Amino acid sequence: MTAQPTPVDPPQLHHNPAFAQGMIVPAGPTLYVGGQNGTDNTGALLDGLGAQTEQAMRNVLAVLAEAGTGPENVAKLTIYLATGVDPGAAYAATRSVWGDRRTAVTVLAVTPARPGALVEIEAVATLAGEELE
Amino acid sequence: MTAQPTPVDPPQLHHNPAFAQGMIVPAGPTLYVGGQNGTDNTGALLDGLGAQTEQAMRNVLAVLAEAGTGPENVAKLTIYLATGVDPGAAYAATRSVWGDRRTAVTVLAVTPARPGALVEIEAVATLAGEELE
Amino acid sequence: MTAQPTPVDPPQLHHNPAFAQGMIVPAGPTLYVGGQNGTDNTGALLDGLGAQTEQAMRNVLAVLAEAGTGPENVAKLTIYLATGVDPGAAYAATRSVWGDRRTAVTVLAVTPARPGALVEIEAVATLAGEELE
């Protein structure tokens, strides 16, 4: 069992280069990243879908880094978009920060509870290097 | 501690034969199944709520099988329905594939990001037989 | 590694006294609490947002207690509000039951699948005292 999450892609499912159908994470401590909006360090929302989405993803990465892990250890991202937002534009903005790593993803159109928020992103990650032996 | 998830049903909550109020999973590797739509192996959506829901659940089961586990090890299902869909019909379609096993479930009406998708199903499962000793 | 979840609050994110940006849970058994509505022990929905929200949170706490754990071991709460509900009022109602403990949280406006449900709350918790050694 390696310390890295492992993508799961059954041959009978359509293969998508951008995400994995499932991810296996090894036993060990787990980090839950609460829903991140596109807010700066004063708590203010940035303007527009692209800026909010990139910032929300940067906030997720900041929580990962603070916990001593990183995107390579993320088991799943859940990306909540405000209803009416262009999913393609939002997804492109996530990728500009997230990069090409494949992980399990759910993308939904809902209404983030915070007024004016166009996107909210949460994550689950394993903590590399802290696995039990 | 057995290797199987264990339903949790407090006596003060209404008992539902179709799902558990909570599920305990033993320590060990975990599989996160990303949101599955009712798509075939070319990535095309099937027609109609029943066909999409059954196919989405089959896709979840395919990811479980590819990871070496199965529905008996699922800790939680989250079933996202498109707004306006009949929840009863959708739930019946999930059961026709899923069967009678009880697990923790959340069912919500949202908008799957993929145009035309009426349902999206995600899951978390433990990997049986790979528990730490 | 302690047996308690640990909040993660990167300095570059806005600090919120009510929730943590992330939570680390130690390796061990995990409890998944399925979506809880504001229903009593006959399965009937209570009247109004405040009563439903408090009851939904009490139901979450009942599942935690039945599994031998408690709110201090919750890694993440996800609070789904019906579209149009006042998030501030709902959040205040959750706090009246939940108290001041900080954990990772996602709050969204969606439509709970159950007709008349104004709120649904789910949780993930670690099982204290059952950690592997």
The answer to whether B30 contacts A24, with C-beta atoms less than 8 Å apart, is yes
Q: How far is A20 from chain B (nearest CA, A)?
A: 7
Q: How far is C132 from chain B (nearest CA, A)?
A: 8
Q: Tell me how far apart the terminal alpha carbons of chain A are, to the nearest angstrom.
A: 10
What does the pLDDT look like over C5-41, one tens digit per residue? 999 999 999 988 889 999 999 999 999 999 999 999 9
Of the given ranges (A66-75, A91-100, A123-132, B52-61), which has the lowest mean pLDDT?
A123-132
B61: nearest CA in chain A?
A10
Nearest neighbour of A24 by CB, restricted to B78, B127, B131: B127
Please list, in sequence order, all residues whose beta carbon lies within 8 angstroms of the beta carbon of residue B88, skipping any fewer than 6 positions away. Answer: none
Query: What ipTM describes this predicted complex?
Result: 0.92
C20: nearest CA in chain A?
A34
Q: How far is B101 from chain C (nearest CA, A)?
A: 15
Burial (CB < 10 A; 0-12, 13-18, 19+), residue A87, is middle
Q: Tell me whether residue A100 is in a domain.
A: yes
Label residues B110-131 b or e (16+ Cβ within 10 Å = b).
bbbbbeebbbbbbbbbbbbebb
- In this structure, what are the phi and psi dihedrals at residue B39, rounded to the nearest 5 degrees? -110, 145
Q: Tell me whether residue C24 is in a domain.
A: no
Nearest neighbour of A33 by CB, restricted to C104, C108, C110: C104
Q: Give the domain range for residue C112.
A: 29-122
Question: Which chain C residues are within 8 Å of A122, Cβ to Cβ?
Answer: 76, 104, 106
The whole-number average pLDDT for the span C66-87 is 94
The answer to whether C25 contacts A42, with C-beta atoms less than 8 Å apart, is no
pLDDT at B133: 36
Which residue matches tokens 């079933």? B79
The whole-number average pLDDT for the span A81-107 is 93
Q: Tell me whether residue A23 is in a domain.
A: no
Q: Are strands C74-82 and B119-126 parallel, antiparallel or unpaired?
A: unpaired
Nearest neighbour of B26 by CB, restricted to C29, C34, C65: C29
Average pLDDT, chain C: 91
B104: nearest CA in chain C?
C34
pLDDT at C16: 85
State the Cα torsion A5-C19-C105-A108 to the nearest 10°: -90
Q: Tell me whether residue C3 is in a domain.
A: no
Q: Tell me whether residue A82 is in a domain.
A: yes
On the CB side of C79, CA atoms within 13 Å amount to: 30
Where residue C67 sits, what CATH number does that domain have? 3.30.1330.40
**What length is written for chain B?**
133
Question: Which chain B residues are within 8 Å of A92, Cβ to Cβ?
Answer: none
DSSP structure string for C6-68: EEE--TTSPP-TT-BSEEEE-SS-EEEEEEE-SB-TTSPBPSSHHHHHHHHHHHHHHHHHHTT
pLDDT at A86: 92
Q: Tell me whether residue C14 is in a domain.
A: no
Q: How many domains does chain B have?
A: 1
Q: Tell me whether residue A2 is in a domain.
A: no
Q: Tell me whether residue C128 is in a domain.
A: no
The answer to whether A39 contacts C14, with C-beta atoms less than 8 Å apart, is yes
What does the pLDDT look like over A9-49, one tens digit per residue? 999 999 888 899 999 999 999 999 999 999 999 999 999 99
CA distance B109 to A101: 29
pLDDT at A80: 95
What does the pLDDT look like over B65-97, one tens digit per residue? 999 999 999 999 999 999 889 989 999 999 999
Nearest neighbour of C29 by CB, restricted to B1, B20, B87: B1
The answer to whether C106 contacts A120, with C-beta atoms less than 8 Å apart, is yes
